[in-house]
Amino acid sequence: MAQTKANNAAEVVSRILTEDVLTLTQARTELANLTGIRHDKGTLTRWIHRGVGGIKLEAIRLGGRNIFTSTQALTRFIEARTRTMGS
């Protein structure tokens, strides 16, 4: 189990670092541009750590407090959440 989590974490890090990396502040701005709603930073942090309906926003931590995601990770999160609407 621990090895699987480590492999998954390595995949997420590799994927995000090759994408269009965003700070959480930049991610909030991207979402605001799309939806007209500026989500609180705590909301994005919750999406990362707890998820919504079993779906988590992919993100990486660099250094002590720096959390990054990507434009593509936001897209995957929105697509996954949208797919659950039909269920």
Alpha helix segments (H runs only) across 18-85: 24-35, 41-49, 71-85
As for how many domains the chain has, the answer is 1
Contact 60, 15 (CB under 8 A): no
CA distance 19 to 74: 11
Mean pLDDT within 62-71: 91
Residue-level pLDDT at 19:
95
Q: Residue 33 is part of which domain span? A: 2-85
Tens of pLDDT along 22-62? 999 999 999 999 889 999 999 999 999 999 999 999 999 98
Nearest-10 crossing angle of helices 71-85, 2-17: 120
pLDDT of residue 63: 85
